Amino acid sequence: MELKTDIVVVGAGLTGLTTAHYLQKYKQSFLVIEQAKQIGGAIQTGEENGFIYEKGPSTGVMNNEIVREVFEDVKAYCSLEWAANSVNKRFILKNNRWRSLPAGVIGGITTPLFRFSDKIRLLGEPFRKPGINPNETLDQLVKRRMGKSFLEYAIDPFILGVYAGDPSYLVPRFALPKLYNLEQKYGSFIGGSVKMQLEKRKSGEKKQPKQPHRIFSAKEGLSHLTHALMQSGGAEKFMLGIQNITIMPAEGSHFNVKGVLPDGEDLLIQAHQVITTTGASSLNGLLPFIEPSFIQSITNLLYAKVVQVAVGFNRWEGSVIDGFGGLIPSKEGKLVLGVLYPSAFLSKRAPEGGALLSVFMGGVRHPEVYDMDDEAIYQLVETSLQEWMGLASFHPDLFRVFRYQEAIPQYGADCEARFIALDRLEHQYPNLHIGGNLQGGIGMADRIKQGKQLAEKVAGK
């Protein structure tokens, strides 16, 4: 089969789908090719016996307005769901007991999570000098400014929840740029946050809505969002189940995109521009014309392996579930990273009186969990939930295990070389655009933002 189009988008995860949505909005001619038989990438919703569960992400943080814009655009097919206010309650495990993560100053002073000496030390945070090493790791930065117990019982579990990562690997300049800039611009986290609020008020910018309103999902599951994006992008433009995709420069600054259709027939698409939105490692196969040592500096990106388990109960008989969920600091020495309570803050996730939990485990520190068999995972979840969730016995009505070999990219010191190489590549091939989570952030809101930016770039907006 031979086709011609202006733009080919490779990958139909959230980034590729958002790109397609905006390309359609900007009246571009394009095709999306995807190796899997289904769209959505990491986002897949399951529905069984009264449970609606996510195999990948459950919620995102609305940290930019484009997310709201996208939901508004696709409202004919899918509705935004805000998490209930209870998501403000978060827990941290210490000595096998959940402790509330303090939200305010009083909570911060009284919490048993942090050492007394670190609480006193925090008073001096605004007066400490900013760091000078741009590749300082997150653990070094936090120990320097806030103290070890804040690293162990606040930052480390936060990083497990977001990156399934390790603060001694992540570099804040790339992994948490807002935090890094706070120190670089204002000299302090505490002073910087206060000054930023004052600046916003001065400039007349509206106060941000409170945290709970910023956690989003889609009604009846995030797959409704990905399918809505495919509808709005034009379902006929999506080609699924395409194997062995390669992109080769052709005459006249065109690209030949080749692949194999599900029935074994060869596919050739001639395009003016190509956008890739896959994870980093796929680029090795997609771009065979690039010298291996050069492409390696782009694709050599560490990804956390994550195992996610959806556990459902028709009747919940454990302790009261109220809040977003709990995280387990590395210091506690567990294989489980955290337990989310989706049925407590999203509607229709479990039958009335029941509960849906999402247990995630492994991450950068425990990649071995990825290779554990389902029986071993079951036992781990059983003992963990009995110990922490007040369950006398463990008889779930839903138990589904999902493994991700390349779940979350880890933005470490190697980002600098990657970004330089990406710039060089795009300079040499201006019609080849490399998107995806190898840059631009790891969360759903970041992916949506990048999707729009990619579409704007190729459409000349």
Instruction: Candidates 174-182, 318-326, 362-370, 437-445: pick the segment binding ligand FAD (CB under 6 A).
Output: 437-445
Least Å from the CB of residue 1 to ligand FAD: 16
Check: CB of residue 41 under 8 Å from CB of residue 32.
Answer: no
Pairing of strands 303-313, 243-249: unpaired
Cβ neighbours of residue 413 under 8 Å, at least 6 residues apart?
A: 135, 137, 171
Sole binder of ligand FAD in the list 14, 83, 369, 385 (CB under 6 A):
14
Closer to ligand FAD at the Cβ: 179 or 444? 444
Q: Does 16 bind ligand FAD (CB under 6 A)?
A: yes
Choose, by CB under 6 A, the member of 282, 343, 410, 439 that binds ligand FAD. 282
CA 155 to chain centre: 17
Regarding 367 and contact with ligand FAD (CB under 6 A), the answer is no
| C-beta of 188 vs 410, nearer to ligand FAD | 410
Is 159 a residue that touches ligand FAD (CB under 6 A)? no
Q: How far apart are CA 273 and CA 255, in angstroms?
A: 7
Supply the minimum distance, in Å, between the C-beta of residue 195 and ligand FAD: 28
By CB under 6 A, residue 36 contacts ligand FAD? yes
Rounded least distance, CB 442 to ligand FAD, Å: 5
Q: Which of 159, 286, 356, 357 binds ligand FAD (CB under 6 A)?
A: 286
Q: Residues touching ligand FAD: how many (CB under 6 A)?
A: 36
Among 245, 356, 438, 458, indicate the residue that binds ligand FAD (CB under 6 A).
245
As to burial, measured by CB atoms within 10 angstroms (0-12 exposed, 13-18 middle, 19+ buried), residue 120 is exposed
Which residue in 24, 45, 308, 410 binds ligand FAD (CB under 6 A)?
308
Give the three-state DSSP class for 340.
Answer: strand
Q: What is the CA radius of gyration of the chain?
A: 23
Contact flag: residue 45 with ligand FAD (CB under 6 A)? no
Q: Compare residues 10 and 83 and give the one whose CB is closer to ligand FAD.
A: 10
Residue 358 in the binding site for ligand FAD (CB under 6 A) = no
CA dist., res. 235 & res. 452, Å (int): 18
* Residue 43 binding ligand FAD, by CB under 6 A: yes
Cβ-based neighbours of 316, under 8 Å, separated by 6 or more: 350, 353, 354, 355
11 belongs to the binding site for ligand FAD (CB under 6 A):
yes
The number of beta carbons lying within 10 Å of the beta carbon of residue 366 is 20
Instruction: Find the binding residues for ligand FAD in span 200-239 (CB under 6 A).
Output: none
Among the listed residues 19, 24, 44, 58, the single contact to ligand FAD using CB under 6 A:
58
SS3 35: coil
Question: By CB under 6 A, is residue 278 in contact with ligand FAD?
Answer: yes
Q: What are phi and psi for residue 119, nearest 5 degrees?
A: -65, -40
SS3 237: helix
**Residue 34 touches ligand FAD, criterion: CB under 6 A:** yes
Q: Which of 333, 322, 361, 332 is nearest to 161 (CA)?
A: 361
CB distance 230 to 17 below 8 Å: yes
Stretch (H or E) spanning 57: none
Structure tokens at 349: 């996730």
Q: How far is the CB of 127 from ligand FAD (least distance, A)?
A: 35
* Interaction of residue 101 with ligand FAD, rule CB under 6 A: no
- Tell whether residue 279 is a contact of ligand FAD (CB under 6 A): yes
Q: Which of the ranges 126-134, 374-382, 384-392, 401-409 carries the binding residues for ligand FAD, by CB under 6 A?
A: 401-409
- For 62-164, list the strands marked E by DSSP: 80-82, 90-94, 97-100
Residue 16 near residue 450, CB atoms below 8 Å: no
CB nearer to ligand FAD: give 141 or 407.
407
Alpha-carbon span 216 to 63, nearest angstrom: 10
Distance from C-alpha of 345 to C-alpha of 341, rounded to nearest angstrom? 7
Interface residues toward ligand FAD, by CB under 6 A: 10-16, 34-36, 41-43, 56-60, 245, 277-279, 282, 285-286, 306, 308, 404, 407-408, 436-437, 442-444, 447
